[in-house]
Amino acid sequence: MRPIVSLTRHASVAIALAAMTTSLAFADVPAGLASAIATTQKATSYHVSIAAATGTTEADIVEPDRIHSVSPKSELIAIGPTLYVKVGGAWRQIAGGGAQLAPMDVPRQIASHLPDITATDLGMKTVDGQTLHDFHTDDPKLKQTSTVYVDGSGRIVRVETGTTIVRLSNFNESVTITAPM
């Protein structure tokens, strides 16, 4: 059961970030950000790294429905609605549990939420040695502000909310995620 608890903490962060990011596609946002949301949604695969106060989670996402997530306390694979959880070195299958990892699929979450967000174009900024387009977002319903960064290819590559940082990378690379049992 412990891996599910760990997943829930990371999933809650991902849900909040995804809800924030998703709403941007439907609110009054700068054209560059709206375009970045659409471009990011078209990715067939990507890697996500979530650094939060509760720890770091790394995941590979392969559209339309495969996720492999690893954190210090758990390893999980979702294929469609089925979740596989590694417990004590052995894999367990949980039918219907795959939805628990869906919040890590940021582009899908972008398409499925509609909170009321406002966004401001802050121009270019260098982050981690990379020149990125910086957008500030405000979600009064979630009572949170975030910074969304877009790379030169027009994709969302970083979202910062409080002390949580979500990084997206390795877009459209060949990744194979298979059931472990």
pLDDT digits (tens, 9 = 90+) for 13-49: 443 344 444 433 444 557 888 788 889 889 999 999 9
In a domain, 174, yes or no: no
Number of domains in the chain: 1
Q: Is residue 34 part of a domain?
A: yes
Per-residue pLDDT band at 130 (split at 50, 70, 90): very high
Residue 6 in domain: yes
Tell me what the mean pLDDT of segment 117-141 comes to: 89
Q: 99 is in which domain, residue-wise?
A: 2-169
Worst-scoring range by mean pLDDT, 26-35, 96-105, 132-141, 147-156? 26-35
Six token digits for residue 26: 């439907």
Helices marked H in the chain — which ranges? Answer: 2-23, 31-41, 106-112
Does residue 55 lie in a domain region?
yes
Per-residue pLDDT, 157: 95
Separation between Cα atoms, residue 64 and residue 176, nearest integer Å:
13
Least confident stretch, 56-65, 78-87, 101-110, 170-179: 101-110
In sequence order, what are the beta bridge partners of 131?
A: 126
Query: How many residues are recorded in the chain?
Result: 181
Examine the pLDDT at 82 and tell me if it is beyond 50. yes
Find the CATH number of the domain harbouring 97: 2.50.20.20
Asked if residue 13 belongs to a domain, the reply is: yes
Contact 59, 48 (CB under 8 A): yes
- Mean pLDDT (the chain) is 79
Distance of alpha carbon 31 from the chain centroid: 21
What mean pLDDT comes out for the span 86-96?
89
CA-nearest of 7, 11, 51 to 158 is 51
